Amino acid sequence: MGAKRLGKSLEKGGKALLRASLVRLLPRPRRPAGPVDPASVRRVLAVRHDARLGNVLLLTPALRLLKTAFPAARVEVLLADKYGAALAFNPCVDEVLTARALPGLRRRRYDLAFDFSPQHAFSLSSASWTALSGAKRRIGFDRGDAARFLDDLVPVPAERTHETANLARLVRHAAPGAPLPPDAALRTEWHFGPGEREAGARTWREWGLDAESVALFLGARAEKRLPPEWFLELARRLRAAGRRVVLTGGPAERELLKGLVLPDGVRAAPERPLRDFAAAIANARAVLTADTGPMHLAVAVGTPTVELFSHTEPWRFGYAHVPGHVVLDAAGRHPSVDEAWAALSGLLASPRS
């Protein structure tokens, strides 16, 4: 057996052993006795272990539904350590917890706990965290080994639906009689605190930008990443049209820009904390980005977007159904600069919603 196959075999065996150990240690699921009584729900836990920025923002409509369905309940969110700041000032969130809270989770006495991991794949870590809560009822999608950890299972949707609607399905299952808005009305949310909008406007001006300026986000993971030269050509066209441009991204993207000559009127934004970056981007006329965290961030703060989809599902993660947002679906390839320019020009020519 080769080293690679041996490594995979050991990894698979280790995961199976861990899963079996967790099943023995964690509270056994119990078949729910009848529907949830909304009046009896006082404490709710929402679990999202895979806490990428986009995933946290996609969860926000479900959090609003929880507050609507169980208005007397305290809603707490359990995330990995990153991106809890995305939920600051959210009126539907009473507390954000991280893995450091796991040892004392059962003492919080949750009435309901939701495993909000994606419906397409079972997450052992997310299911374990949900079970560890000891909640009276633990709700999640019925796939993989979910039945070993959760006691109220929801069928995986067969139809193509947006991720916000998929996650909302778990809340609708728990509160079938609640007056909840339809899926078409669900929107991701970002809430600014005192002074944040004003600080973001100052940052935008300090970058030499105005209300008609466009942000191009260079970042993306793996096959979704486009070369910096692609964005520079788009920036040149925007400059020729009289618009100022800011290039944004993480440390990897700033490294890629080193040694490249930026056109006049095009600036590479310095790294900023998440909430500062959100407040600045809220001032852009438009953001062009691949399917990545800042795409969801721009939508949540209300900035129009052109969304580049090459290797992920636009029907699941895109926002073509929301006014002011354009999805460019290249289906397995990178879009050309001409395609992106046409989509961006159309968006900029339309009035801002």
Give the model confidence (pLDDT) of 252-296 as tens digits. 888 888 878 898 889 999 989 999 999 999 999 999 999 999 999
Tokens at 12, concatenated: 């698979």
Is 266 within 8 Å of 235 (Cβ atoms)?
Answer: yes
Share of the chain above pLDDT 70, in %: 91
Lookup result for tokens 């991106």: 83
pLDDT the model gives residue 26 = 63
- Interatomic CA distance for residues 350 and 353, integer angstroms: 9
- Interatomic CA distance for residues 89 and 85, integer angstroms: 9
Mean pLDDT of the 54-73 span: 97
Q: What angle do CA 316, 191, 352 make, to 5 degrees?
A: 65
Lookup result for tokens 């809220």: 282
Same domain for 79 and 202? no
Same domain for 221 and 340? yes
Same domain for 44 and 71? yes
Same domain for 175 and 202? no
pLDDT the model gives residue 1 = 45
pLDDT the model gives residue 259 = 79
Is the per-residue pLDDT at 98 higher than 60? yes
Assigned domain for 344 exists: yes
pLDDT the model gives residue 253 = 82
Is the per-residue pLDDT at 325 higher than 90? yes
Round to the nearest angstrom and report the end-to-end CA distance of the chain.
60
Assigned domain for 9 exists: no
Residue 228: which domain range? 196-349
Lookup result for tokens 């993660």: 317
HSE-CB at 261 with a 13 A cutoff on CA atoms is 2
The domain that holds 48 is classified in CATH as: 3.40.50.2000
Assigned domain for 16 exists: no
Q: What's the mean per-residue pLDDT of the chain?
A: 90
Q: What is the pTM of this model?
A: 0.90
Using alpha carbons, list the distances in angstroms from residue 216 to 107, 142, 219, 225, 316: 46, 39, 9, 13, 22
Interval 9-40: pLDDT, tens: 434 444 554 555 555 556 667 777 678 888 99
Tokens at 178, concatenated: 């609640």
Same domain for 141 and 229? no
Assigned domain for 255 exists: yes
Same domain for 202 and 180? no
Mean pLDDT of the 334-339 span: 95
Which of these three, 166, 185, 204, is where a domain ends? 185
Please tell me what DSSP assigns to residue 262. Answer: P
Which of these three, 135, 153, 185, is where a domain ends? 185
Assigned domain for 230 exists: yes
Is the per-residue pLDDT at 62 higher than 90? yes
Assigned domain for 327 exists: yes
Same domain for 173 and 275? no
Identify how many contiguous H helices and E strands the chain contains and give both numbers. Answer: 11, 12
Mean pLDDT of the 191-201 span: 98
pLDDT the model gives residue 25 = 59
Same domain for 103 and 52? yes
Domain count, the chain: 2
Which of these three, 165, 185, 205, is where a domain ends? 185
pLDDT classification of 46: cutoffs 50, 70, 90: very high
Same domain for 51 and 109? yes
pLDDT classification of 132: cutoffs 50, 70, 90: very high
- Which range among 45-59, 138-152, 246-260, 277-291 shows the weakest confidence by mean pLDDT? 246-260
Assigned domain for 168 exists: yes
> Across-strand partners of 76?
45, 95
Q: What is the DSSP string of 128-168?
A: HHHHHTT-SEEEEE--TTGGGT-SEEEPPP-S---HHHHHH
- Interatomic CA distance for residues 117 and 120, integer angstroms: 9
pLDDT the model gives residue 95 = 97
Is the per-residue pLDDT at 186 higher than 60? yes
Same domain for 42 and 177? yes
Please tell me what DSSP assigns to residue 39. Answer: G
Assigned domain for 6 exists: no
> Across-strand partners of 214?
245, 286
- Which range among 37-51, 73-87, 254-268, 334-348 shows the weakest confidence by mean pLDDT? 254-268
Interval 107-124: pLDDT, tens: 999 999 999 998 888 999
Same domain for 165 and 214? no
Same domain for 102 and 229? no
The pairing of strands 137-141 and 152-154 is parallel
